[in-house]
Chain A
Amino acid sequence: GAVVSQHPSRVICKSGTSVKIECRSLDFQATTMFWYRQFPKQSLMLMATSNEGSKATYEQGVEKDKFLINHASLTLSTLTVTSAHPEDSSFYICSARDLATSGNTIYFGEGSWLTVV
């Protein structure tokens, strides 16, 4: 199946700093990517939909100025957590839609653990 890669897989940052997570579709072009966060023992919560060349669409309750999303190319979307606080510590997962598949299948990255200290 198609491959989506996230980097870094784990990151620790100090409170008040910003951290960037990259999401790449390695073998297909993705006009649409999605960002999720997941707390322990909970399901994935959609944060935003990232569209190549346009502004991201954020889900209700997600602060767009805190979680900056950029989708500048067909293979790369980035999530920047600005002014991070301990409560932002979570597992962040990206996914990308492969329009070449019959069901527009969405493939997920490996996830990125963010710890804010």
Chain B
Amino acid sequence: DAKTTQPNSMESNEEEPVHLPCNHSTISGTDYIHWYRQLPSQGPEYVIHGLTSNVNNRMASLAIAEDRKSSTLILHRATLRDAAVYYCILTGTASKLTFGTGTRLQVTL
């Protein structure tokens, strides 16, 4: 499975936008980019996914670079409930969804 690289941690103030980067330079043409987040003592929660075009949903936006070697998860207005570990993962039809260390997002008042 292609690997992803994320910063270990990021901080944000509440109600400000947050941009969480992810590098995936070895992505293949059929890999989707998935983002999950995990709160303490809970299973990962699906956030968003995309292939080539930018995507929006009620939780976040996903901006995908034109060469697909990087992507950015955008939380438009961070709240305290958004504090979690965010994982960027590449998935193909047969991929196993291997987790890296993710980015721990801290949100402060």
Contact = CB atoms under 8 A, between A and B. Distances in A.
Interface stretch (A14-22, A69-77, A80-88, A107-115): A107-115
Given A43-B102, A105-B49, A93 B34 contact: no
Contacts, number: 60
Contact of B34 (A6, A46, A106): A106
A4 B44 CA distance: 11
A103 B87 CA distance: 16
Given A34-B96, A43-B101, A46-B97, A103 B51 contact: yes
Interface string B12-49: 00000000000000000000101010000111111001
B50 to A, nearest CB: 8
Interface residues of B, number: 23
A1 interface: yes
Q: How big is chain A's contact interface, by range? A: 20 to 34
Interface in A2-57: 4, 6, 34, 36, 43-46, 49
Contact of A34 (B50, B93, B97): B97
Contact of B98 (A46, A104, A108, A109): A46
B97 A93 contact: no
B91 A106 contact: yes
Contact of B46 (A36, A93, A107): A107
B41 A113 contact: yes
Interface of B: 32, 34, 36, 41-46, 49-51, 87, 91-93, 96-102
